[in-house]
Structure 1
Amino acid sequence: MALFHRRLCLEGPRNAWEWLLLLVLRPFGRLYGVVGLVRAKLYALGILPAYRAPVPVISVGNLSAGGTGKTPVVDYLVRRLLDQGLRVAVISRGYGGQGVKNALVVSAGQGPLVEPALCGDEPYLLARRNPEALVVVAPKRRLGAQLAVEQLGARILVLDDGFQHLAVQRDLDLVLLDAASPLGNGRPLPAGLLREFPSALQRGQLFVLTRWHEDCPPPPYLPGPVLRSRHVLGAEAMDLDGNRLALQQLCGKQAVAFAGIADPEGFFWDLRRRGFERLEALPLADHVVYDNEVLRQLHALGSRAEIFLTTEKDAVKLKAGQLPCPCWQVPMTLDFLETHALDLALAQLTARIH
């Protein structure tokens, strides 16, 4: 259903039934947008209280519901801050985890302490990629921020998916937009993919066009510096046992690719561009649970394949031996075409710490 909704909002209706469905959803989309507008105004006026952390806070978020690649951007920022010797904490809602009530420490600076089923796949992946970072999951991000600063000694915080989480004040608002379709059909949920009206972009300070390529349309007017970035497949793949192999060595094999992310087709397109011509693809819902039904689908496809290919986000939920042929996870990295505005903003924040 999520994949159908995304296709309907991005590509438009294909038949009379879909036109009717979109027409029915439009009033609900306007109502959703108005609620978000009122909520943001209440925070701006101080009627709804917002927590001010004693350390700098960077928010990474987007206007649309998924699909812009927040995790690689958060990973990029964490790596840069760690390289400067800073004790950085990622504060995440932990979507897909098993109902954390207050705050859960996923990593205290030595890698993951809990399983992805408990904390969510994205926080676990960030903790695994950056074992020196602090990672905290908290539905109320204020509680996670307080824990990270007061108990774990964080000197700078990165809010994962924080643009709409106005209960925590931020010093830098980084807003991500898909370069191919920055605003989708321009409508809020459920008539579109936007979490707020486009006017909410006025709160942003830096804007990142993700998955940019030469054929992308010109972006809409944005009230701040615009950075372009590409998501790039890593040079090495890793199987579920931790063995590594150059991705190029897998290109000639008959492969089944599967992905439970907001935009699985983007992952499949990247694989084909890297040379995987004998590729069968299985798109799955974002944050999919690998239950018996999903594994049954994979086993059926695996009967005519030599290898499976998937994302790191999906691989953290799988174990060696669950699939009928080797499963290789392909990491995604971020390549910025320009970084001057981001460099300047980070330098200003880190100068306050030092």
Structure 2
Amino acid sequence: MNLSIQTYWRELASGRRTEPADKLVLLFLTPFAWLYSLVLRLRALLYRSSILKTHRLPRPVVSIGNITVGGTGKTPVTAYIARHLLAQGYKVAVLSRGYGGSLEGQSCVVSDGASIMLSARECGDEPYLLASTVAGLMVVIGPDRFAAGQLAMQQLAPDIFLLDDGFQHLRLHRDLNILLQDFSRPLGNGLTLPAGMLREPPTAARRADLILFTRSPKGAATPVTIGAATACLASHTIVDLIPLNGGPPVPFSRCSGQRVLAFAGIADPASFFAALRTEGVNLVQCITFPDHVVYDKERLDKIASGMRESGAELLVTTEKDGVKLRGLAPECANRTMLARLELTIDKPELLHNALLGLLKHQEL
């Protein structure tokens, strides 16, 4: 998909475009959205009626996902939960699809908790990022998360599974269903694909046990939720910068007074750039790439030329992009920093108690 078309569609689907011409585009797409929604409702009904079978793993499964297309901060939330459980002494395995990796479609162990066996190009950027930034975390990829879980049980014997981006993966039973929604636009324009950002009709949120509203502003009130799920507010804060070439983190104040070029290939790059501006970063240029981008020579050259033309003194990108930046010209790599995010939850005890309850029940 052409990037300009992709950007236009995201703005349209999120409800940011409301001109008459935009409404005509929506009018054209809406019948397809109705058809898509009908198919999804039928699929959910088949699972509820046990016509399509749900499979259960022998350890608790916590699903972390959303009902919109990308950009709600699933990876930081997965990392937060994994670190909390690991700190309690539990063996944790993440089950991920491995989207964008060359081994997508196969079930493979990315990390056994001690060593990483696959590269980001092989397993995908998000599984590799989790494996490389959360010490002791086991990560397994596979399109069928039940089969991936069975592989994990055979080779790794975890105490608990985290199902990454698993809200729609109804084939696998989950013991705790966590739904992430963007605070500012939790349902986009309220329509399903292709007219909106919803992967499922809004009523699918009733399957959630806990809803985290991500990117919540300070002091915000918790929105009204669909169904009986408990809700919490979560925010992502850039806490420091990690040099791409290695070395200890440096304070975010390193950006102060410098001309900064930011680039990102994530689901919602605009939110990343906005977060940098909110912190007072002087962005002289922003370069947007598609989500799960492969940084080939053409894209790496685009970053290098952007740095030279803008006179940028510092380059800032996400940790997710950082795992794929091998081959970046030394003149750029030496100036590139990865923005490290920290997740804060307003009522963490609700999440912690739910996780503890699962594990205590498992031990009985």
TM-score under structure 2 length normalisation: 0.92
Give percent identity, aligned residues only: 41
1:123 aligns with 2:127: yes
Does 2:184 match 1:180? yes
1:305 aligned to 306, 312, 317, which one? 312
2:269 equivalent among 264, 268, 289: 264
Dislocated runs of 4+, deviation >6 Å: 215-218
Matches within 5 A, 1:1-354: 1-13=5-17, 15-214=19-218, 219-223=223-227, 224-235=229-240, 237-244=241-248, 245-303=250-308, 304-319=311-326, 321-322=328-329, 324-325=331-332, 326-354=335-363
CA–CA separation in structure 2 for the residues paired with 1:320 and 1:290: 9
- AA at the equivalent of 2:278: R
Query: How has the CA–CA distance of structure 1 residues 226 and 23 changed in structure 2, closer, same or farther, with 3 Å as cutoff?
Result: same
What is the one-letter code of the residue matched to 1:269?
A
Q: Output the CA distance in 1 between the equivalents of 2:196 and 2:290.
A: 17
- Unpaired segments ≥5 residues, structure 1: none
What is the aligned-residue RMSD (CA, Å)? 1.7
Q: Distance in 2 between matches of 1:111 and 1:155?
A: 19
Secondary structure of the corresponding residue to residue 233 of structure 2? strand
Calculate the TM-score normalised by the size of structure 1. 0.95
Q: CA deviation at 1:246?
A: 1.9
Q: CA deviation at 1:159?
A: 0.1
CA contact (8 A) 1:111 1:128 kept: no
- Residues 3-38 of structure 1, C-alpha deviations (whole Å, 9 max, x = no match): 221111124435444332221111111111111111
Distance across 2 between alignment mates of 1:89 and 1:153: 9
The alignment of Structure 1 onto Structure 2 pairs a total of residues equal to 353
CA separation in 1, counterparts of 2:268 and 2:336?
20
**Structure 2 residue matching 1:324: 3-state secondary structure:** helix
1:155 and 1:298, CA in 2 relative to 1: closer, same or farther beyond 3 A? Answer: same
Q: Distance in 2 between matches of 1:43 and 1:210?
A: 29
The one-letter amino acid of 2:331's match is P
Q: Return the alpha-carbon distance in structure 2 between the equivalents of residues 27 and 118 of structure 1.
A: 38
C-alpha separation between the residues in 1 aligned to 2:279 and 2:181? Answer: 24
Asked whether the 8 Å contact 2:222–2:232 carries over to 1, the reply is no
1:186-229 CA-partner distances (Å, limit 9, x unpaired): 00001000000001111111000000015868634332110001
Sort the Cα spacing of 1:352 and 1:207 in 2 relative to 1 into closer, same or farther, 3 A.
same
Aligned partners of 1:78 and 1:133 also within 8 Å: yes
Per the TM alignment, residue 44 of structure 1 is displaced from its structure 2 partner at its CA by: 1.0
Structure 1 distance, partners of 2:346, 2:284, is 29
Rate the CA distance shift 1:27–1:341 in 2: closer, same or farther, 3 A: same
Distance in 2 between residues matched to 1:211 and 1:122, nearest whole Å: 19
Which amino acid counterpart does residue 170 of structure 1 have in structure 2?
Answer: R
Q: Structure 1 residues 290, 37: closer, same or farther in 2, change over 3 A?
A: same
Q: Compare 218-227 and 39-48 and name the one that shifted more.
A: 218-227
Q: Report the residue type matching 2:223 in the other structure.
A: P
1:52-94 Cα distance to aligned partner (Å, 9 max, x none): 0011000000010101100000000100110111111000001
